[in-house]
Copies of this chain bind each other. A is one copy, B any other.
Amino acid sequence: MREAFSEQLDTMFQDLATICGDVETAVRLATEALLRGDAETAERVISGDVEIDLARERVEDSAFLLLSLQQPVASDLRTVVAALRMVSELERMGDLSVHVAKIARLRVPNLAVPDAVTPLIERMAAVAEDMVVRVSKIITDRNVDDALALVHADEEMDQLRRASFAELLSADWSHGVEAAVDVALLGRYYERIADHAVSVANRVVFVVTGEHPGAVDR
């Protein structure tokens, strides 16, 4: 019984890592679509999101079955509940990639992002994507140090967000209101992807240590 439970839990975490891989693809393709003004790639992200939603439902169903049939307590219970939350966060990261792809699609054949801020948006996207890649590994390895490192990694994202606001609110901004609104919303979406990545890493820390990251002193 105990061994079966542990195997089912491992399978659930493998599923979470797979979903995280799909999210990584979604973030990468959405950014490609955005920076190239590529409607086809944008469509791929938008229509592909249903797969992430279905995968989420499968994880939820198996978590629910585990809770019903195995009645876990203590750290096992904590792990199943954390998995339920992690899968919600991953699904939201997929949704946010869809939002990026939709802005890309809306502006085709033009680019949503003016040249002047392309490096900033590119960097935001790279930070977000890197965080998703690291979260995949963190889910697989359940390594607390890696998870704690990620918790502090979104500081660059905050700086980038501030830099993008400085850019688009400066007197030099010559790209009009539409581009400014697009850049502000894109910044918000990438920032939220990063927030969710941190949140998933937090939950891994909680699963492994039984403590929230603030309480884990390293």
Using a CB–CB distance below 8 Å, which chain A residues touch chain B? 64, 67-68, 71, 73-74, 77-78, 81, 84-85, 88, 165, 168-169, 173, 177-178, 180-181, 184-185, 188
Given the known A-B contacts A181-B181, A184-B184, are A67 and B68 also in contact in the complex, defined by CB atoms under 8 Å? no
The answer to whether A181 touches B178 (Cβ under 8 A) is no
Complexed CA–CA distance, A119 and B20 (Å): 41
Shortest Cβ-Cβ A-B pairs, 4 listed: A181-B184, A177-B180, A71-B71, A68-B73
Q: List 6 A-B contacts (CB under 8 A).
A: A64-B77, A84-B84, A169-B177, A169-B181, A180-B181, A185-B188
The answer, among B68, B71, B77, for a CB contact under 8 Å with A74, is B68
Tell me the number of copies of this protein: 2
The answer to whether A168 touches B181 (Cβ under 8 A) is yes
Closest Cβ of chain B: how far from A203's Cβ, in Å? 12
Closest Cβ of chain B: how far from A181's Cβ, in Å? 4
Complexed CA–CA distance, A81 and B169 (Å): 44
Complexed CA–CA distance, A139 and B169 (Å): 42
The answer, among B67, B78, B84, B180, for a CB contact under 8 Å with A180, is B180
Interface class of chain A by DSSP: helix
A177 surroundings in chain B (CB, below 8 A): 168-169, 173, 177, 180
Apart from A67-B81, A181-B184, 16 more pairs, CB < 8 Å: A64-B78, A64-B81, A67-B67, A68-B74, A71-B73, A81-B81, A81-B84, A84-B84, A85-B88, A165-B181, A168-B177, A169-B181, A173-B177, A180-B181, A181-B181, A185-B185
Residue of B whose beta carbon sits closest to that of A78: B64
Residue of B whose beta carbon sits closest to that of A95: B195
The answer to whether A68 touches B64 (Cβ under 8 A) is no
Closest Cβ of chain B: how far from A123's Cβ, in Å? 20
Given the known A-B contacts A77-B64, A77-B68, are A169 and B178 also in contact in the complex, defined by CB atoms under 8 Å? yes
Closest Cβ of chain B: how far from A179's Cβ, in Å? 9
Closest Cβ of chain B: how far from A45's Cβ, in Å? 19
A168 surroundings in chain B (CB, below 8 A): 177, 181
